[in-house]
Amino acid sequence: MNNMKFEHIPVLATDTIKNLNIKKDGVYVDLTLGKGGHSKMILENLSDKGRLIAIDQDKEAIEAAKENLKDFSNVTFINSNFEKFEEVLANLGLDLIDGALMDIGVSSYQIDNAERGFSYMKDGPLDMRMNQDNELTAEIVVNEYSQDELERIFFEYGEERFSKSVARNIIKQRSEGRIDSTIKLRDIIRKSIKSNETHPEKRVFQALRIEVNRELEVLENTIETVVDHLKVGGRIAIISFHSLEDRIVKNKFKDLATACICPPELPVCVCNHKAKIKVITRKPITATMKELKMNSRSKPAKLRVGERI
């Protein structure tokens, strides 16, 4: 177990807690516990009768959060992917909850720990798994996926304009030996991208992380499931860190807030589709100048909130 000290400042914390409208005796779920920064603030707003279910697929995160939340007795820690949200509730004998939070993205301690392979600033193994029990790693993707597959991932998940050139150079390089470290990969990417950016590799690293952890698929699959388990008036708050995630959240919220989905040419509604939420945030909430000064990692964060109707 890595003994590095986890430093963690929860992003958009005040806005998130305010928008969750916490009922002091309610049941809340933090689907992305991390070190427990947001969880701690939820617990501080709950009475002893209130309850928090804290889920994370990363065992190291759970250990760190247990230490951070050791003063609270009304929290249940679950080591699982939030995709299994329904199963988690059923195992705890729960059905409806008062609110849920998802903070999508890599925790600061995961980035800061070179051994996890998320960072392009420090050398480490090409891992990038949030759940260390999963078999697929970034090293497998980089060394075993075809050129076409790599190109597609970099373009779709990283929105990388030079995805063709990066994929081609990876294939060329790996014919001379396995690409097994973050710095080796970073150097290949830098040679492939014609740019004056400080970190042109960041989009490819993002794309690999999304592929390894199936992040977009899992997010898309989970939002409606969570909404289905909210009590009327219960809220879901989702913080995302890049445009692909934010687009999924925005579109999913829009779908869930729409009543009739019949084609416009039909004179009467035949779909019987009912809206499940009202969108509380017409535009996403972003970090204030004050927060940006304190925590530069909050810069890309966007918070969207929906309420069960």
Binding site residues, as ranges?
A: 36-38, 56, 82, 103, 110
Inter-helix orientation angle 59-68/37-44, to 10° = 40
Beta-bridged to residue 239, according to DSSP, are 103, 303
Query: Measured between alpha carbons, how far is residue 249 from residues 33, 92, 141, 151, 246 in Å?
Result: 19, 27, 27, 25, 5
Alpha-carbon gap, residue 23 to 232, rounded angstroms: 13
Cβ 40 vs Cβ 142: under 8 Å: no
Would you call 250 helix, strand, or coil by DSSP?
Answer: helix
Would you call 189 helix, strand, or coil by DSSP?
Answer: helix
Strands 230-240 and 97-103: parallel
What would the two tokens of residue 170 be?
A: 């990876």
Range 281-284, long-range pairs (CB < 8 A, 24+ positions): 281/19, 281/305, 284/246, 284/250
The residue length of the chain stands at: 309
Residues of the binding site for S-adenosyl-L-methionine: 36-38, 56, 82, 103, 110
What would the two tokens of residue 40 be?
A: 């701690």
Alpha-carbon gap, residue 282 to 260, rounded angstroms: 20
